[in-house]
Structure 1
Amino acid sequence: MAGNRLQGAATGRLREWWRERRSWELSEEARANVRTLGALVTVREAVPSLTDEARTMLQGARRELEAADTVLLFDEHRRSPLGSHVTAAHLHLNAARLLWARSFVTSPQDVSPYLAGLKAVVNEHLPPGDPRRKSVERLQGISSADELVRLTEAVEAAQAVALREKLRAASFVRIVCCVAGFLMLLAAGVAVLTSVWSQAVPMCFNPSQSIGSVATAPESPVSYRVVCPIGSDDSPRSPDLDDNVKAVATWGDYVVVEVVGLVAAGVAAASALRKIRGTSTPYPVPVASALLKLPAGALTAVLGLLLMRGGFVPGLSSLDSSAQIIAWAVVFGYSQELFTKFVDRRGQMVLDAVRGPTSPPQGTATAPGPAAASDSAGV
């Protein structure tokens, strides 16, 4: 019985984590909005002088609220843990809000108390030059059905723009995660293939050494050493370079270099946290950007050392020890920042494009603060 209780508690904790791992707070916010708008619909339905058209609008709003509530139920909706359920719930909320506003068609002046909030939605997402925003900005109150129609059309357009902003963020996360997964599979494939055929493309160097030095054995027919990531030979026995390299190269050379590059990339991702401002969307753009750095670091470490072995970097074609190879693997693994920084910038641009109540109005530029200025200078 005690074991069953412990297992049940662990299962409950796991389900809690699964439910809250991304957007639990945003889901509760959407649920609160459903309740608030539902109360407004209920109050509106109690007006005895409503026309049949207005009641039809309110019934549609009620159905949209029920759909939003269903989407937000984690245990029933199959896409609940992915964050897209929050966006889907906001779609139903937006539709419900528009239907509720259009129920005032016979008494448009009753919408005037809610005009400021509706205008704020329009100003957040529509650019200043948009004619629908201009027509709404001129409104000081709602006194006719035509003005109500202009207001609801502008709100609907702003909601469509907001949806595209969120979908763009979701698409960016999916693309980055797919690329990161592909690079991780590629790095794993390189490690597996080179462990099976360790002598196909050995990651070894042959630094020269003077004849008669202490490290050179008298019986060695060559004046160089063979140095690999996890082994070396100071006195090669064969006059053929390929035979000497094959005798030292092992299956773990690429694995060690990839692990070192991955660790260096992880350190780079951790250092990049100082520039992350977080996100209020259910889509983890910063996390996806950080995950991309890990396989990129493993691959850049391998490719960088192969370029050095091929003599691509003048003066650095022959490393002297295994420690130097590992050190350069760290450098190349960290240097993936040269490539992934563009992804980081694009991700921040995608996040900045998702407008919200605390965002500056469309078309306005904000002056960078001291911290932002110092970051820009550092980049």
Structure 2
Amino acid sequence: MGDVVARKPRITDWRLVVQSRLDRVRADLAALGPPDPLDQEGQRWREAAEQQAAVVEDMITRGESRWRVVASWWSGWHIERAWRSLHEAEIAVVAAGSGFLGRLPGLKARVAENLDEDDPRRRALEELRPGEFPLPVEREIVVDALRAAFDASDFAHAGSRALRNKLIATSVVLFAVNTLLGAVGFAEPGMIPMCVGSEKLPTVCPSGRGPTGADVWLIQVLGAFGAVLSAVVLLLRRRPSLSPYVMVGYQAMIKVLLGSALAVVGVLALGAGVTTGLIAVASQAALLVWAVLLGYGQQLATRLLDSYTDRVMDQARPLPRLEEQR
């Protein structure tokens, strides 16, 4: 029965930001005063702003069943619908008033952050001079430029959601691989040899007592510990973001799971003699330290992922309120 009853929406960062900007949209609508009967187009923009504001309110207060919450979280439709509607409401508020040209400096700065220099909509807005065209034409120039800028942000939101889902899927695969390796090593000790030896050095095993079923698990745990160290570095250098999709947790999960797997592969390489002449493992402690270092070594593989994620998140940051640019 609990799965059927709608659940109240959780208080999340993106809801707080959207609610704050929605309140400002409504305050700006109220500040416009009574509509001008001679400006029918302005009245239509007022109505559009009110309609979009109602959609935003529905998105941030909507309650859903448990299964629909999971589906909505995966697809992100409610988040992206809320942001798109909020952007449309903000555009409509700007267009509804007759004094929107007073905001030109801020509007130009906002559009410049999201459109290329050679974009005709950006050029038209930057070259616009108050009184140069009739009011409806000036209004359309402003609306087109703002809509293009907001669309760039909305498309970036969709791209960050797709990246988040890919990180989750990759984490599931890595978790399954690590679990399988650990289960095989536990069921058949020695099938995945974690002991290292050579002609000149004695054979060393992770447990110190010869091959055991816990060897693979132990190496995975130490590899995960090494990866945690790099995840801490990631957390320390992560910049605050108001994006509705926060990636740092999924990035850290990838690092930990990949560190576990690479530690096992690395110890296998040590046991196979791949590093003969370069690395000598003379004791159990040395082997365990190498497991930690191999787990930390995943940083070389995930650095490109971190850089790519940073670029995606920079593009997906929510646009600040238009009035703040004035």
TM over 0.5: yes
Q: Which range moved further: 60-69 or 93-102?
A: 93-102
Q: Of 304, 307, 318, which residue of structure 2 is paired with 1:342?
A: 304
Taking a change above 3 Å as real, the CA distance of residues 36 and 352 of structure 1, as seen in their structure-2 partners, is closer
User: Deviation at 1:120?
Assistant: 3.4
User: Deviation at 1:167?
Assistant: 2.0
Tell me, yes or no, if the aligned pair for 1:124 and 1:355 is still in contact at 8 Å: no
> Kindly, what percent of the aligned residue pairs are identical?
24
**Which residue pairs with 2:213 in the alignment?**
251
Paired residues for 1:158-177 under 5 Å:
158-177=149-168
Paired residues for 1:130-169 under 5 Å:
130-141=119-130, 143-144=133-134, 145-169=136-160
In the alignment, does 2:254 pair up with 1:265?
no
User: Deviation at 1:355?
Assistant: 5.4
Q: What residue identity is the alignment partner of 2:121? A: R
Tell me, yes or no, if the aligned pair for 2:206 and 2:288 is still in contact at 8 Å: yes
Q: Of 288, 291, 296, which residue of structure 2 is paired with 1:329?
A: 291
Three-state SS of the structure 2 residue aligned to 1:231 is coil
Tell me, yes or no, if the aligned pair for 1:205 and 1:318 is still in contact at 8 Å: no
Count of residues in Structure 1 that have an aligned counterpart in Structure 2? 307
CA–CA distance in structure 1, aligned partners of residues 63 and 104 of structure 2 = 37
User: Deviation at 1:103?
Assistant: 4.7
**Which residue pairs with 2:178 in the alignment?**
187
Tell me, yes or no, if the aligned pair for 1:98 and 1:156 is still in contact at 8 Å: yes
User: Deviation at 1:267?
Assistant: 1.5
User: Deviation at 1:44?
Assistant: 5.0
Q: Which has the larger radius of gyration?
A: 1
User: Deviation at 1:98?
Assistant: 3.4
In the alignment, does 2:55 pair up with 1:67?
yes
Q: Of 215, 231, 240, which residue of structure 1 is paired with 2:208?
A: 231
Tell me, yes or no, if the aligned pair for 1:264 and 1:334 is still in contact at 8 Å: yes
The Cα offsets for residues 263-285 of structure 1, whole Å up to 9 and x where unpaired, read as 11111211333322232212112
**Which residue pairs with 1:128 in the alignment?**
117
User: Deviation at 1:58?
Assistant: 2.9
User: Deviation at 1:231?
Assistant: 2.9
Paired residues for 1:90-129 under 5 Å:
90-103=83-96, 109-129=98-118
Q: Which range moved further: 178-187 or 309-318?
A: 309-318
How does the TM-score come out when normalised to structure 1?
A: 0.72
Structure 1 residue ranges without an equivalent (≥5): 1-14, 210-223, 233-247, 359-379
Tell me, yes or no, if the aligned pair for 1:72 and 1:89 is still in contact at 8 Å: yes
CA–CA distance in structure 2, aligned partners of residues 195 and 53 of structure 1 = 73
CA–CA distance in structure 1, aligned partners of residues 279 and 309 of structure 2 = 37
Three-state SS of the structure 1 residue aligned to 2:99 is helix
Taking a change above 3 Å as real, the CA distance of residues 231 and 114 of structure 1, as seen in their structure-2 partners, is same
Three-state SS of the structure 1 residue aligned to 2:10 is helix
CA–CA distance in structure 1, aligned partners of residues 84 and 319 of structure 2 = 17
User: Deviation at 1:198?
Assistant: 1.8
In the alignment, does 2:17 pair up with 1:29?
yes
TM-align CA RMSD: 3.0
CA–CA distance in structure 2, aligned partners of residues 327 and 93 of structure 1 = 53
**Which residue pairs with 1:196 in the alignment?**
187
Taking a change above 3 Å as real, the CA distance of residues 52 and 138 of structure 1, as seen in their structure-2 partners, is closer
How does the TM-score come out when normalised to structure 2?
A: 0.82
CA–CA distance in structure 2, aligned partners of residues 85 and 117 of structure 1 = 29
CA–CA distance in structure 1, aligned partners of residues 64 and 192 of structure 2 = 52
CA–CA distance in structure 2, aligned partners of residues 272 and 31 of structure 1 = 30
Q: What residue identity is the alignment partner of 1:204? A: C
The Cα offsets for residues 171-215 of structure 1, whole Å up to 9 and x where unpaired, read as 222222321232122111110122112232322234446xxxxxx
**Which residue pairs with 2:258 in the alignment?**
296
User: Deviation at 1:356?
Assistant: 5.9
CA–CA distance in structure 1, aligned partners of residues 122 and 103 of structure 2 = 16
CA–CA distance in structure 2, aligned partners of residues 259 and 67 of structure 1 = 48
For CA contacts below 8 A with separation 6 or more, give which structure has more relative contact order. Answer: 2
Q: What residue identity is the alignment partner of 1:153? A: D
User: Deviation at 1:305?
Assistant: 0.8
Structure 2 residue ranges without an equivalent (≥5): 1-6, 321-326
Three-state SS of the structure 2 residue aligned to 1:203 is coil
User: Deviation at 1:56?
Assistant: 4.1
